[in-house]
Amino acid sequence: MRKRILLVDDDQAVQRLVTMTLGTNDFEVAVASDGRTALEMAESQLPDLVLLDVMMPDMDGFAVARALRSRPETANVSIIMLTARGSSDDLALSKSLGVREHFIKPFSPLHLLKTVYAILESMPPSTRPAAAELAG
């Protein structure tokens, strides 16, 4: 079964790069351009991994990560930050939110691919209910 990845980034070039890198492999990649849409998609699609930009309109990536952690359906989803922000404060905040990796843009697509595989392979088999079970 293909792993579901939710990419949350408002930059179309990053969207293309990541979907080309991951979409041609063992992954189903869904894209959201803002935080509110990402939360809706995460709740309905239950991704295995979220790739999350920090600087987005309306709701930044840290707020999205907090919201994901606060919801039972997404509390344990793995998160990778893909952002231009790499200060020690940003890295500390990512860590406090349980972010698995923090990639600084520009990043190596090959390194991202290897990291995604490593994180997904390290995850225990999913015990969370399918989206259809949550709705019913």
Amino acid at 1: M
pLDDT of residue 90 exceeding 70: yes
Amino acid in the structure at residue 34:
D
B/e letters for 80-98, b = 16+ CB within 10 Å, e = fewer, are bbbbebeeeebeebbeebe
Check: CB of residue 82 under 8 Å from CB of residue 18.
yes
What pTM, to 2 d.p., does this model score? 0.89
State residue 126's pLDDT score. Answer: 56
Q: What is the mean pLDDT of residues 33-50?
A: 96
* Domain residue limits, the chain: 3-126
* Average pLDDT, integer, range 76-94: 94
- Residues 5-28: tens digit of each pLDDT: 999 999 999 999 999 999 877 899
Fold of 3-126: Rossmann fold (3.40.50)
Average pLDDT over residues 118-130: 70
pLDDT band at 111 (very low <50, low <70, confident <90, very high): very high
> How much is the average pLDDT of 82-109?
94
Give me the pLDDT at residue 134, please. Answer: 43
Number of other CB atoms surrounding residue 19 within 10 Å: 16
Written as six digits, the tokens of 56 are 């987005």
Task: Give the amino acid at 120.
Answer: L
Place of tokens 């843009």: 105
